[in-house]
Amino acid sequence: MSDSFVARQTANLQQLVRAGDIQNKPEQLRSREAQQLLTIQSSPCRCLRCGNLVYPIVALPGPFLCEECRDELRQRDHQDIPGCQWWGELLHAARSRNPEKTA
């Protein structure tokens, strides 16, 4: 884990503030990088924990966690409750027990 949760959250909030400042400029005065930042910041898929951009493989409605937050929370859960499984892991385990019922 390269950055702490607080550092990631702070960086994301700073990006949002910069994007807000850019949005107040007339469009013809914005640089290409500023336009790209605005486009990126307008993404609806953000980690609910730290604010990182999340790119889901399938566009499903619902809360998203970035990889770093998901890994941190999963590791914390496994430390607190050995043998703990998240929903996706439970589904995978159930499917592997009954391969004929996965169709």
Residues 44-54 have pLDDT tens digits of: 677 878 878 77
Q: What is the mean pLDDT of residues 42-71?
A: 75
Confidence of residue 1 (pLDDT cuts 50, 70, 90): very low
Contacts of 100 (CB under 8 A, 6+ apart): none
DSSP 37: H
User: What's the pLDDT at 66?
Assistant: 83
74 CB burial (10 A radius; 0-12, 13-18, 19+): middle
Q: What is the mean pLDDT of residues 78-89?
A: 84
pTM (whole model) above 0.85: no
